[in-house]
Chains A and B, each alone.
Chain A
Amino acid sequence: MPSKRSVRLGSTEIELDSLVRDSREVADIIADDLEADFQEARYKNFDQKLFPFADAADIAEWDGYLTTRYSPLYLNFDAICSDCPMGPCDLKNTVGRCGLGGLACQARLSLRKACRGCLSQMADTRETLAHAAKLNGQDAQVTWGKHHDRSDASHIGLMTAMWPRNIRDLARAMSYAEAQLGKLLLASYTGYESRGLEGMALHAGSILMVAMDVSELLKMNFFGFNNASDHEMTEMVNWPPADVSGGLGSVQAGKPVVSFIGDAFLSAWYTVKRLKEAGIADKVEVCGIGSVAHDLVRFYSPARVLGPMAMASKLVRYGISDVIVASTGCINWDFLSDSKCAGTKVIWTGAGGNLGLPDRTDDQSESIIQDLLEGLSGAWVRDVEKAAEIAASLSSRVKRPGKQFLSDEQVKQEAEKCTPDCDLCSNRCPNGLLVGQALRKAAKEGAKALFDIEEGCYSCGECEDVCPQRIHLDDLLMSSLAAKAPADKLKMRSGRGPVSRVETTSWAFGSIMGNCPGIFHIMGCGDAKHRGDLGWIAHELVRHNSIVFTAGCAAGDIGRHYSEKKGKYIFEEFGSEGQPRNIMNCGACSGCSHIIDQALKWPRSGSGISHYGNFAETADTSHNLISPTAIVWGAITDRMYAIVAAWVRAGIPVIVGPDSGFGWKRAMLGSKWRWEDWWACSVFDARKMFVDPSPSAMVLPVETKEEAVTYGMVLAMRAADIRDNRQIRLETYIEFFQKHFGEFPDDWHLYVRSDWELPLRYKSRLLRMLREDYGWDIDRLKVKRAKHPDGRLLDIGQYGKEYGAMAFPTTKLPRLVSRRRTSVEKKEEVKAK
């Protein structure tokens, strides 16, 4: 059947070629989108362009805005470029032989870092896709769940314009993502223009989200993962239940322990299946480290989440596991040596590289098991079903010697070797830990003096390498970990999966007109200096009535937060529905896509904007009106760099920290004091409107958790905030600032557009400050005249017109100014006639 060339919407016949550059091969997709989700009025009033299977260049108009307004601020400079045969060239003070400048070189490296961040997730998604197709066939149906409909945004829809119906569609989306990654990698060696390259780095983030969407759909449809969209909204307040335990202290002594590490969940899925079939599931502790842990608990809640990927090396050497089944993940290291010292057997399933283990994929399972029992430290088994068979059988047969840790006296003796005038360890620590200072205390107090630095240590071994006294720092830190292990516990909800537009819309009133200060997305890799930071951040935000989402390793660390007063862990203390004062865990790393997808549903709900092949308009609208704030705490991996790129591209500002946030290639900020930089375009008449600097940054590195929540709150403001919304955000921002830093922020007045926005509890003080410190004209409890940032004192009514865009539709994309004439223009036309 020939493809459609046009579609009728209401009274308008829409030619597909008027919407897309080349409709061949995508005509059916676009026609389907138009009929299912498009609005005639938007087609008539705006210059609509759709970009199915979008290239980076198709979204460059939006990326250009982001990289100009929030111009990348590079935080390190790699001067030597070896990208071509004419090099290496030193770009410190000159351009290279090929003409590449230093700035463009940094942008290339930023793009490369984002691409690297996509690799392991995309490789894993491809493996899962192939496996699902093998089991179910290409025509097997997929669905987001019964509460999802065509108006629910997803990155598959945003980037490809497809609404996936079966595995074949997912394969097409994945092929698109892989092809894009190839193009981006090519650009990272051939591009010459820094802003364009940074735009492509953002594109890499969007591509990663497509792969995560594909991964999640496969997991939910074919492997029994939780899917909130298949449950009634009335269940959500306590669904999934907070019944997942974790931490080293939760593992039952005496039971065999099988642990999974990395991204690939398939081996875990088959292992659990085998254990259940053999009727021995309750006799084996099944644990996970990193992303796979959070996948595991979505289909098997008795599994234990041991810790984030940044802790993986330590957790392997701690020696709790009898068998480890591992694959590539967001952090890779030679953990074979770690597992050997713990006597743990390793089954490596990763297809994308091995650890120097023999490839035993085609050998008989029993022969591999025998070899492992007789002393072989590990085997490479690329067949996940076989790997699962071996793991399930091996776990109860391994006789592992118990791990010995230093006693407190031994810790003191070892620490006594430290000399006071050295501190090479502290100077070399990539996480900024004062190792030497802690060691000197440990010489007197024992292992407990090392508790703090153990939390921030991710076992890179730098400190031990540089120690002139050859102190066995690693042994000391492991003793500290062992001392704390019995108390290391967490409780959490397993990942819920997606959030439907219906549920998203249900909190609209609370988040826009009520007393919810913001929506926050909390993620991280577990390398923050203090393990309790993430839980504290989440608790501080939720108890202040925010809506909080989390996913990945951050969810486990948040689950460690325990309220002594209430006797509850954080996931037990708060509900899990889409409402203020609730916290939702969306799943493993790939579950991050659910968080960003729900954030991009608002343009459809609020402005009728269909998202299919329509990234720029969706992100622009979301960014201007209601996008949330993300906090990435512990941001060490390249994958997190790509994830943050996706968030920035969606118009969502991101706080990164603590130390690893400064180790990134770049920050993205604007200067809040340069008022002339902050403008928006009226969608009605293209008028340039000067607005408050909100959000003032898109990637903001900070040092402490208190800074994270406080600056997170100011980044939650949007120029279009209505006054109720602005009032609660301003109030919480000031409250956090006062509580944590003991003073008012220096920029609060920049966010005041009317006296209605002044929080009641601070109102008289703020009015006095406006008069005395900022030169505003105040009459009792009213602002008569306000000081525009350009220095003019304006009547408050005029001020509102010249500063801010309260509840006003604006755009950053000139293409999206309405074709419709305003009533004023219409009157003028009538007059002229």
Chain B
Amino acid sequence: MTVSKPEEISRLLREKKGVLFLAGSLCDEMELGSERLCDYVANLSSRINAPVAASGNVINGLRERGAKVSKKAAIQLVEMLRYEGWRDPIMGARPELLVFIGFPNDVVRALVYATQGADTMVLGTGAIEGATYCLADCSQFQLKKDLEKVIAGLS
């Protein structure tokens, strides 16, 4: 696990090819000031033109915010990475980096552990052991600031 600063996260998102966002149910629930986590996911993904796989019910909020989003069960995408190649229609080639955002810590820990053959990045309030990259343990207040810095780094 590498705990990364927001600037480093921005650099990685800019440089990595084949980034796939996986958005979990907290995207709808987590309030960051006057916005929801959903707003940040839509913003982040659109800045690097990366597709978003929406788990839970978050597809509706993300679609409203203009994200390039498809409904997926997170575990099914992770399962696809067990095999060589890539066939899920959400993207043409195997993703190199899965960005998990909006999952409770225990859920994302499980998904990260099960991911094989791709780097993982967790953008949340918990530093997740096993993730290739993640933000440090923080409050929602701090997460808002960090995400704003990540977005600024993608401008």
Q: Do A and B come from one complex?
A: yes
Q: Is A473 an interface residue (CB 8 A)?
A: no
Q: Are B125 and A743 in contact, with the CB atoms below 8 A?
A: no
Q: Are A671 and B106 in contact, with the CB atoms below 8 A?
A: no
Kindly identify, within residues 85 to 119 of chain B, every residue whose CB is under 8 Å from any CB belonging to chain A: 87-90, 103-107, 109-111, 113-114
Q: Is A701 an interface residue (CB 8 A)?
A: yes
Q: Is B126 an interface residue (CB 8 A)?
A: yes
Q: Which of A294-302, A642-650, A659-667 contacts B (4 or more CB under 8 A)?
A: A659-667
Q: How far is the CA of A431 from the CA of B106 in the complex (A)?
A: 8
Given contacts A432-B104, A659-B107, A663-B110, contact A707 B75 (CB under 8 A): no
Of the listed residues A430, A432, A737, the one surrounded by the most CB atoms of chain B closer than 10 A to its CB is A432
Q: Is A434 an interface residue (CB 8 A)?
A: yes
Q: How far is the CA of A422 from the CA of B137 in the complex (A)?
A: 10
Chain B residues positioned under 8 Å from A671 (CB to CB): 76, 79-80, 82-83, 87
* Minimum distance in angstroms from A598 CB to a CB of chain B: 29
Chain B residues positioned under 8 Å from A76 (CB to CB): 109-110, 113
Q: How far is the CA of A427 from the CA of B109 in the complex (A)?
A: 12
Closest to B106 in A: A663
Closest to A70 in B: B79
Q: Is A711 an interface residue (CB 8 A)?
A: yes
* Minimum distance in angstroms from A659 CB to a CB of chain B: 6
Closest to A745 in B: B71
Q: Are A746 and B87 in contact, with the CB atoms below 8 A?
A: no
Contact of B139 among A73, A75, A436, A700 (CB under 8 A): A436
Given contacts A700-B73, A701-B75, A742-B63, contact A434 B29 (CB under 8 A): yes
Q: Is B25 an interface residue (CB 8 A)?
A: yes
Q: Are B88 and A673 in contact, with the CB atoms below 8 A?
A: yes
Given contacts A669-B76, A703-B55, A743-B59, contact A432 B26 (CB under 8 A): yes
* Minimum distance in angstroms from A430 CB to a CB of chain B: 6
Kindly identify, within residues 416 to 469 of chain A, every residue whose CB is under 8 Å from any CB belonging to chain B: 420-423, 426-427, 429-432, 434, 436-437
Q: Are A737 and B110 in contact, with the CB atoms below 8 A?
A: no
Q: Are A659 and B75 in contact, with the CB atoms below 8 A?
A: no
Q: Are A703 and B141 in contact, with the CB atoms below 8 A?
A: no
Q: Are A75 and B113 in contact, with the CB atoms below 8 A?
A: yes
Q: How far is the CA of A74 from the CA of B82 in the complex (A)?
A: 11
Q: Is B132 an interface residue (CB 8 A)?
A: no
Q: Are A436 and B140 in contact, with the CB atoms below 8 A?
A: yes
Q: Are A427 and B82 in contact, with the CB atoms below 8 A?
A: no
Q: Is A333 an interface residue (CB 8 A)?
A: no
Chain B residues positioned under 8 Å from A658 (CB to CB): 25
Of the listed residues A659, A701, A741, A743, the one surrounded by the most CB atoms of chain B closer than 10 A to its CB is A741
Chain B residues positioned under 8 Å from A778 (CB to CB): none
Kindly identify, within residues 33 to 80 of chain B, every residue whose CB is under 8 Å from any CB belonging to chain A: 54-57, 59-60, 63, 70-71, 73-76, 78-80
Kindly identify, within residues 53 to 83 of chain A, every residue whose CB is under 8 Å from any CB belonging to chain B: 71, 73-77
Of the listed residues B73, B80, B88, B111, the one surrounded by the most CB atoms of chain A closer than 10 A to its CB is B73
Kindly identify, within residues 534 to 558 of chain A, every residue whose CB is under 8 Å from any CB belonging to chain B: none
Q: How far is the CA of A70 from the CA of B141 in the complex (A)?
A: 41
Q: How far is the CA of A71 from the CA of B76 in the complex (A)?
A: 13
Q: Is B24 an interface residue (CB 8 A)?
A: yes
Q: Are B26 and A75 in contact, with the CB atoms below 8 A?
A: no
Q: Are B80 and A704 in contact, with the CB atoms below 8 A?
A: no
Q: Is B1 an interface residue (CB 8 A)?
A: no
Chain A residues positioned under 8 Å from B103 (CB to CB): 432
Of the listed residues B57, B89, B142, the one surrounded by the most CB atoms of chain A closer than 10 A to its CB is B57
Q: Is A740 an interface residue (CB 8 A)?
A: yes
Given contacts A703-B107, A746-B70, contact A75 B60 (CB under 8 A): no
Closest to B30 in A: A434
* Minimum distance in angstroms from A662 CB to a CB of chain B: 4
Q: Are B107 and A432 in contact, with the CB atoms below 8 A?
A: yes
Q: Is B148 an interface residue (CB 8 A)?
A: no
Closest to A423 in B: B139
Number of interface residues of B (CB under 8 A): 46
* Minimum distance in angstroms from B55 CB to a CB of chain A: 6
Q: Is B31 an interface residue (CB 8 A)?
A: yes
Closest to B145 in A: A421
Chain A residues positioned under 8 Å from B63 (CB to CB): 742
Q: Is A706 an interface residue (CB 8 A)?
A: yes
Closest to A441 in B: B31
Q: How far is the CA of A700 from the CA of B141 in the complex (A)?
A: 33
Q: Is A20 an interface residue (CB 8 A)?
A: no
Q: How far is the CA of A430 from the CA of B106 in the complex (A)?
A: 7
Q: Are B71 and A437 in contact, with the CB atoms below 8 A?
A: no
Q: How far is the CA of A604 from the CA of B86 in the complex (A)?
A: 41
Q: Are A427 and B142 in contact, with the CB atoms below 8 A?
A: no
Q: Are A421 and B26 in contact, with the CB atoms below 8 A?
A: no
Q: Are A711 and B60 in contact, with the CB atoms below 8 A?
A: no
Q: Are B60 and A427 in contact, with the CB atoms below 8 A?
A: no
Q: Is A566 an interface residue (CB 8 A)?
A: no
Q: How far is the CA of A701 from the CA of B29 in the complex (A)?
A: 20
Q: How far is the CA of A76 from the CA of B128 in the complex (A)?
A: 12
Q: Are B76 and A703 in contact, with the CB atoms below 8 A?
A: no
* Minimum distance in angstroms from B11 CB to a CB of chain A: 26
* Minimum distance in angstroms from B65 CB to a CB of chain A: 13
Q: Are A737 and B141 in contact, with the CB atoms below 8 A?
A: no
- Over the window 742-773 of chain A, the binary record of Cβ atoms lying under 8 Å from chain B Cβ atoms (1 yes, 0 no) is 11011000000000000000000000000000
Chain A residues positioned under 8 Å from B25 (CB to CB): 658, 703-704
Q: Are A741 and B83 in contact, with the CB atoms below 8 A?
A: no
Q: Are A703 and B106 in contact, with the CB atoms below 8 A?
A: no
Q: Are A746 and B89 in contact, with the CB atoms below 8 A?
A: yes
Q: Are A702 and B140 in contact, with the CB atoms below 8 A?
A: no
Q: How far is the CA of A345 from the CA of B136 in the complex (A)?
A: 46
Q: How far is the CA of A50 from the CA of B79 in the complex (A)?
A: 36
- Over the window 127-155 of chain B, the binary record of Cβ atoms lying under 8 Å from chain A Cβ atoms (1 yes, 0 no) is 00000000001111110000000000000
Q: How far is the CA of A437 from the CA of B31 in the complex (A)?
A: 8
Q: Are A423 and B60 in contact, with the CB atoms below 8 A?
A: no
Chain B residues positioned under 8 Å from A704 (CB to CB): 25, 56-57
Chain A residues positioned under 8 Å from B30 (CB to CB): 434, 437
Q: How far is the CA of A737 from the CA of B71 in the complex (A)?
A: 9
Q: Are A421 and B114 in contact, with the CB atoms below 8 A?
A: no
Q: Is A674 an interface residue (CB 8 A)?
A: yes
Given contacts A75-B113, A437-B30, A703-B74, contact A421 B141 (CB under 8 A): yes
Q: How far is the CA of A737 from the CA of B72 in the complex (A)?
A: 11
Q: How far is the CA of A702 from the CA of B107 in the complex (A)?
A: 10
Chain B residues positioned under 8 Å from A663 (CB to CB): 106, 110
Q: Apart from A77-B113, A674-B87, A707-B73, what 6 extra A-B contacts exist at CB < 8 Å?
A: A427-B125, A432-B106, A671-B76, A741-B71, A743-B70, A746-B71
27 CB-based A-B contacts, threshold 8 Å? A73-B78, A73-B82, A73-B114, A75-B114, A76-B110, A420-B141, A429-B104, A430-B106, A432-B106, A432-B107, A434-B26, A434-B30, A436-B139, A662-B75, A667-B114, A669-B79, A670-B79, A671-B76, A674-B83, A700-B73, A702-B55, A703-B55, A703-B56, A741-B59, A741-B71, A742-B59, A745-B71
The 7 closest A-B pairs by CB, nearest first: A432-B104, A673-B87, A75-B110, A423-B139, A703-B56, A662-B110, A741-B71
